[in-house]
């Protein structure tokens, strides 16, 4: 059912107020009447309204006073003022204080209906934007990034420390580890959270177009530049720019970016006009920038400008303890998106996911879970439902000595293989915690650590 807008009508002229109330009610609005500003402010504390239509000149609290108080308490409520004593000065004052519009008595009701419609539409957009911002901020809250492992706790700690600053950040990590997610979380937990966040992949845009994409261009600056176009830096002014795959930026553009970071201003392609810049820069890469600097492929001075605060995102195989939580999170999320009942992941399937090395990291896991849910008719994901290259990584439970033939066996190697497989199983069951794995194997933790090093087991 469509929401009927609630309008508060404030006017000390009773007959005029009642007549306007009847007309607005016939149009389909819920209307409450107040004869004074004092009663109006009391009523605003008790129930919500979408719009206030108030006389400007009231005994006691005036229409201007109502505007000021409402903008402090409920800035999303629109206000239209009505008066029989029109003057340019009062109109200007009312608009400066936050009134959406101004109409004089005797008023034209058809015009007022149009004004009411516009005011309610603006109110709807303000509330919708507020809701979307709240959803966005909630989505990128630090708590919504999955990870209880020590490696991720270190990442969260650093994110929390730098979110309130304007320091330049370099996020390092393999593809699929969630670098953009971290960048967005930092932005939406920073003082710039209500300003734009713009992400651009430096490796996905041809080198000859990247400068225009970042800094904009003026009409006629190059072939097919038929109009002026603002770049991402100008659009994001006041907010955050995220430059992903910064290692792929052409050298000539690295020079310009360095100058922009030093001088806090830039010029669009083909322009000599300087634009002042107030942004936070977060960049990311999956390559070793230090090696690129040594090889002369990336400017050393720019590298140090970007790498003020580094954040290293570990690959998934280095945070295996987070895998069960991540898998269940993605399963719940994907089931909701597909309007499917909640699906449970069997213990053996979780163990297979924990054992797999995940070369594509978190992004690969999300894709695998989505594919498995789409192809599975059951409400339970079993090991055999997973791709074969994942399912086969589960350590065999049939551990035992091989049969000795006439050729003999390498007993030391057999014992090492058995130890390796038992330790891997214990680490899976212990969710990557060595103390738990050692307890399961009935050995000291120091003994387990020594065996892991000797056997070359990744952990």
Quick one: pLDDT band at residue 417, thresholds 50, 70, 90? confident
Task: Report the predicted TM-score, pTM, of the whole model to 2 decimal places.
Answer: 0.60
Identify the pLDDT of residue 214: 92
Q: What angle do CA 286, 369, 354 make, to 5 degrees?
A: 70
Identify the pLDDT of residue 421: 79
Identify the pLDDT of residue 91: 65
Q: 296-311: per-residue pLDDT in tens?
A: 999 999 999 999 999 9
Answer whether residue 197 shows pLDDT above 90: yes
Mean pLDDT of 82-99: 69
Q: Which two tokens stand for residue 355?
A: 């054992």
- The answer to whether 435 and 445 have CB atoms below 8 angstroms apart is yes
Most confident residue range from 18-27, 95-104, 235-244, 408-417:
235-244
* Averaged pLDDT of the chain: 84
Which residue blocks in 338-410 are alpha helix, DSSP H?
Answer: 347-355, 361-375, 388-391
Identify the pLDDT of residue 120: 82
Q: 372-384: per-residue pLDDT in tens?
A: 999 988 889 999 8
In the sheet with 30-34, reading across from the earlier edge strand, the strands are: 30-34, 6-10, 51-55, 78-83, 101-104
Percent of the chain residues topping a pLDDT of 70: 89
Q: What is the helix (H) or strand (E) element at residue 281, kind and residue range?
A: strand 280-285
CA distance 126 to 134: 12
**Distance, first Cα to last Cα, the chain:** 56
Identify the pLDDT of residue 152: 87
The residue whose two tokens read 């490796």 is 203
Q: For each of the domains in the chain, give its residue range(s) and CATH number, in order of start.
A: 6-134 (3.40.50.2300), 142-314 (3.40.50.300), 327-391 (1.10.8.60), 411-455 (1.10.10.60)
Mean pLDDT of 137-156: 73
Q: 156-169: per-residue pLDDT in tens?
A: 889 989 999 999 99
Length of the chain as a residue count: 459
Q: Which two tokens stand for residue 117?
A: 């419609």
Q: 117-126: per-residue pLDDT in tens?
A: 888 887 777 6
Q: Which of 66-70, 84-88, 389-393, 422-426 has the lowest mean pLDDT?
A: 84-88
């Amino acid at each position: 059912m469509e929401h009927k807008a609630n309008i508060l009508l404030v006017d000390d002229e009773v007959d005029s107020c009642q007549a306007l109330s009847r007309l607005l009610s016939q149009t389909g609005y819920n209307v409450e009447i107040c004869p004074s500003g004092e009663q109006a402010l009391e009523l605003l504390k008790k129930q919500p309204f979408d719009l206030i239509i108030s006389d400007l000149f009231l005994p006691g609290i005036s229409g201007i006073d109502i505007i000021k108080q409402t903008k402090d308490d409920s800035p999303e409520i629109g206000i239209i003022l009505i008066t029989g004593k029109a003057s340019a000065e009062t109109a200007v004052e009312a608009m400066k204080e936050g009134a959406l519009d101004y109409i004089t008595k005797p008023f034209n009701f058809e015009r007022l209906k149009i004004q009411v419609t516009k005011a309610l539409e603006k109110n709807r957009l303000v509330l919708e934007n507020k809701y979307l911002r709240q959803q966005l901020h909630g989505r990128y809250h630090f708590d919504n990034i999955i990870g209880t492992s020590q490696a991720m706790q270190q990442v969260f700690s650093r994110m929390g420390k730098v979110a309130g600053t304007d320091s330049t950040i370099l996020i390092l990590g393999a593809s699929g580890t969630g670098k953009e997610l971290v960048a967005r979380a930092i932005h939406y937990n920073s003082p710039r959270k209500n300003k734009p966040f713009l992400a651009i992949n430096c490796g996905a845009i041809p080198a000859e177009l990247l400068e225009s994409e970042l800094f904009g261009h003026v009409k006629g600056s190059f072939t097919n530049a038929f109009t002026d176009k603002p770049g991402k830096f100008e659009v994001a002014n006041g907010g955050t720019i995220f430059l992903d795959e910064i290692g792929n930026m052409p050298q000539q553009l690295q020079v310009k970016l360095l100058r922009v970071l030093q001088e806090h201003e830039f010029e669009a392609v083909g322009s000599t006009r300087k634009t002042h810049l107030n942004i936070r820069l977060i960049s990311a890469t999956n390559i070793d920038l230090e090696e690129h600097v040594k090889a002369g492929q990336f400017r050393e001075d720019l590298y140090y400008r970007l790498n003020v605060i580094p954040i290293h995102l570990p690959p998934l195989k280095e945070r295996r303890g987070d895998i069960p939580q991540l898998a269940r999170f993605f399963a719940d999320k994907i089931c909701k998106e597909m309007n499917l009942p909640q699906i449970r992941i069997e213990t053996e399937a979780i163990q297979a996911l924990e054992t797999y090395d995940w070369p594509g990291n978190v992004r690969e896991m999300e894709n695998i879970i989505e594919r498995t849910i789409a192809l599975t008719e059951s409400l339970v994901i079993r090991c055999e439902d997973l791709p074969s290259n994942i399912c086969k990584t589960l350590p065999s439970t049939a551990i035992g000595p091989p049969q000795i033939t006439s050729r003999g066996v390498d007993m030391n190697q057999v014992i090492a293989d058995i130890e390796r497989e038992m330790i891997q199983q214990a680490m899976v069951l212990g969710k990557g915690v060595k103390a738990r794995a050692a307890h399961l194997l009935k050995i000291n933790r120091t003994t387990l650590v020594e065996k892991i090093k000797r056997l070359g087991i990744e952990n």
